[in-house]
Amino acid sequence: MKTKTVTVFGSSMPKPGEEEYENAYLIGKLLAQKGFNVCTGGAQGIMDAVSKGAVEEERSNWNYCRNVQCSFQQTLN
């Protein structure tokens, strides 16, 4: 049986404890519970939360990193 992979990219701004972060964590956990592999951008915020949720369910997790310069950030994220 083939394993399906879901890729998630999102904001690096949400922090642990904030609603967006906690929802992303839950999404990662639920995807893993349903048997999906999870691939994220590997940065902070949403991608970190999704990765943590998936890893805690012991599913494969891949990170793909790409620097993006945003006008509202002083450094590359």
Check pLDDT > 50 for residue 60: yes
User: Tokens for 8?
Assistant: 């998630």
| Res 26: pLDDT | 96
| Res 57: pLDDT | 81
Q: How confident is the model at residue 4 (pLDDT cuts 50, 70, 90)?
A: confident
Asked whether the beta carbons of 19 and 25 are under 8 A apart, the reply is no
| Distance separating alpha carbons of residues 6 and 74, to the nearest angstrom | 30
Number of domains in the chain: 1
List, in sequence order, every residue forming a beta bridge with 6; answer none if it has no partner: 38
| Res 77: pLDDT | 47
In a domain, 68, yes or no: no
Structural domain range at position 16:
5-63
Pairing type for strands 5-8 and 61-63 reads unpaired
Check pLDDT > 70 for residue 61: no
Full strand arrangement of the beta sheet holding 61-63 = 5-8, 37-40, 61-63
* 74 vs 25: which has the higher pLDDT: 25
The CATH number of whichever domain residue 57 belongs to comes to: 3.40.50.450
